[in-house]
Chain A
Amino acid sequence: MSPSPLAPTTDDVAATARTAGLALSPETAARIAVAITPALQTFAPVTAHLPFDLDPSDFLAAQQSVGAAK
């Protein structure tokens, strides 16, 4: 069985970091996998249902919306 994509392996972590320009030792990659897995697993249900028409600037719109006032 292949590992869950929500629980990155040491190899997954090393590969992703390498593409971002950082070479990791296996020990460091293993530590990072432990560190980031809870956040990825908790956030995953959100990412599965994000609507198509979303823009990061929607945050500013929500901040300044009528609904932001009591």
Chain B
Amino acid sequence: MSPRSLPTDLATLSLTEVAAAIAAKQVSSREATQACLDRTALWEPHLNAFISREDEAALAAADVADAALAKGESTGPLHGVPLAHKDMFYDAGKVCTCGSKIRCDFVPDTTSTALARLKAAGTVRLGTLHMVEFAYGPTGHNVHFGDCHNPWNVAHAPGGSSSGSGAAVAARLTYAALGSDTGGSVRMPAHFCGITGLKTTVGRISRAGAMPLSHSLDTVGVLTRSVEDAALLMSLMAGADPRDPTCIGGPIPDYMAATRGTLAGITIGIPTDFYVEGLDGETGAVLDNTIATLTREGARVVPVTLPDQKQLSAASQVLLSVEAAAFHKPWLLERPQDYGAQVRARIENGFAYAGVTYMEALRWRGPALAAHLAAVAGVDAVLAPVCPSPAPSLAESDVGASLNAEAVIQGITRFTRPVNYLGLPSLVVPAGRASKGLPIGLQFIGRPFAEDVLLRIGAEFQRATDFHLAMPELPA
């Protein structure tokens, strides 16, 4: 990017653009950080996207980064780039609330591996982002910190549980953000807020030092303004970690190189049922238009008949419920009043499953994945909606602990949970716009550890479209 092409508002640069501009000394870290802080000052009263803000510390860190660069000392590919993340990634010595009252003053003595790898690449900490209490909910409500709002329409939900990550990246308050996805928590806010979101394969990125919800299903993911930005973060975070033995070793694909590929030779599967049922008209139209775009850009599009996705969802619910209950049991028994009503109710659900049922859900995972892989033989990615509709209003999705709450939540996440059970990667890209200005994203569901293929597809889609470049306007 040449100096003349820099935008007036530096906060609107992409992650890769601002990192390159800082490295080339076209922009200082202080200028980039101040731009994010200025924009946050305008937007935050409308969004409530941050749990903590560290403006002065961020500027001081930016000055340190600038001084280092002036001496020819670059820390890494994200030198001086200001970022904020979902408030569940431990940063030693810093309060990490996990969106909860219970951990409102929790100070970890360790740093999450994912966060540490980004810090080692040179990032500046802006603060921490809003999230659903203990990452247990898909909408963005939080009784302890107040609800987070969708920047495209503040009466609507931003999606959760990485609610602040979705809202802040979409409003250009941070250049990117970490999130987590156990049942859709990266993909839902990416879809609702009109940004790029990558849920990674189970075992691709270390979960060490990230708040657990379900050890079988938890994954670290990223929310970004472009697929290229997601690739950059992946290239910094992916790989084995002795602190998380479930994290797979071996060679890591060149994610940035993957974004320069085309759709030639790529085969996209379109589900013949389940994911195409019950869609609202606008979401269905976006799916059709996306298929047309992919075909025009050279992809081969074929129908695929997938195994019963409802059974995968049910198994996913069993694992999530029981594992969350086990993590939370001591707090639930000692201080149940300190949970929000909905999260407490969902944790209680996990105590009512029989142990045998839980083990059956664990034992079926292997054959279920094998059956899925057989169904998608020859297919690089399956294209599917993230949700049957755009973001619901905060009011209509505020179901609390009502009798039908679990059914409503399961309905919102019905297209995301099967992917979690199978442990697959999934890339969400903005693909259209609905009435009320709300974005619509679609997900490309990949093969295990094939994030590079998803990034290739997504990057080419973003070269052919401009949905990811759209920015919400500041509410009056």
> A residues bordering B, Cβ < 8 Å?
8, 12-13, 16-17, 20-22, 24, 28-29, 31-36, 38-40, 42-43, 45-47, 50-51, 54-65, 67-70
> Which bracket fits the contact residues of B?
35 or more
B203's partner among A16, A38, A63, A67 (CB-CB below 8 A) is A63
- CB pair B351–A61 under 8 Å, yes or no, is no
Other A-B pairs, 13, CB within 8 Å; known A59-B366, A64-B248: A20-B329, A34-B403, A35-B345, A35-B406, A40-B353, A40-B357, A42-B310, A47-B364, A62-B367, A63-B448, A67-B374, A68-B447, A68-B449
- CB pair B360–A22 under 8 Å, yes or no, is no
Chain A residues whose CB sits within 8 angstroms of the CB of B317 once the complex forms = 36, 39
> In the docked arrangement, what's the CA distance between A21 and B318, Å?
18
What does the 1/0 interface line of B343-376 toward A look like (CB < 8 Å)?
A: 0010011011110010111111111011001100
DSSP majority for the A interface?
A: helix
- CB pair B369–A36 under 8 Å, yes or no, is no
Chain A residues whose CB sits within 8 angstroms of the CB of B248 once the complex forms = 64
Contact A62 to B353, CB < 8 A, known contacts A22-B332, A32-B348, A39-B314: no
* In the complex, residue of chain A having the shortest beta-carbon distance to the beta carbon of B423: A63
- CB pair A28–B348 under 8 Å, yes or no, is yes
DSSP majority for the B interface?
A: helix
**Which 4 A-B pairs give the minimum distances between C-beta atoms?**
A58-B366, A35-B406, A42-B314, A17-B351
* In the complex, residue of chain B having the shortest beta-carbon distance to the beta carbon of A57: B366
* In the complex, residue of chain A having the shortest beta-carbon distance to the beta carbon of B402: A31
Contact A39 to B449, CB < 8 A, known contacts A32-B348, A59-B369, A62-B373: no
Chain B residues whose CB sits within 8 angstroms of the CB of A58 once the complex forms = 363, 365-367
> B residues bordering A, Cβ < 8 Å?
201-203, 248, 310-311, 313-315, 317-318, 321, 325, 329, 332-333, 345, 348-349, 351-354, 357, 359-367, 369-370, 373-374, 377-380, 401, 403-407, 410, 423, 447-450, 453
Chain B nearest CB, measured from A38 CB (Å): 7
* In the complex, residue of chain A having the shortest beta-carbon distance to the beta carbon of B203: A63
> In the docked arrangement, what's the CA distance between A16 and B321, Å?
14
> In the docked arrangement, what's the CA distance between A69 and B450, Å?
8
> In the docked arrangement, what's the CA distance between A63 and B203, Å?
10
Chain B residues whose CB sits within 8 angstroms of the CB of A33 once the complex forms = 352
* In the complex, residue of chain B having the shortest beta-carbon distance to the beta carbon of A69: B447
> In the docked arrangement, what's the CA distance between A11 and B359, Å?
23
Contact A22 to B370, CB < 8 A, known contacts A46-B311, A50-B363: no
> In the docked arrangement, what's the CA distance between A13 and B201, Å?
34
- CB pair B447–A70 under 8 Å, yes or no, is yes
Chain A nearest CB, measured from B122 CB (Å): 33
B345's partner among A31, A42, A64, A70 (CB-CB below 8 A) is A31
> In the docked arrangement, what's the CA distance between A50 and B315, Å?
13
Chain B nearest CB, measured from A37 CB (Å): 10
- CB pair A47–B357 under 8 Å, yes or no, is yes
- CB pair B352–A17 under 8 Å, yes or no, is yes
Contact A43 to B348, CB < 8 A, known contacts A16-B354, A34-B403: no
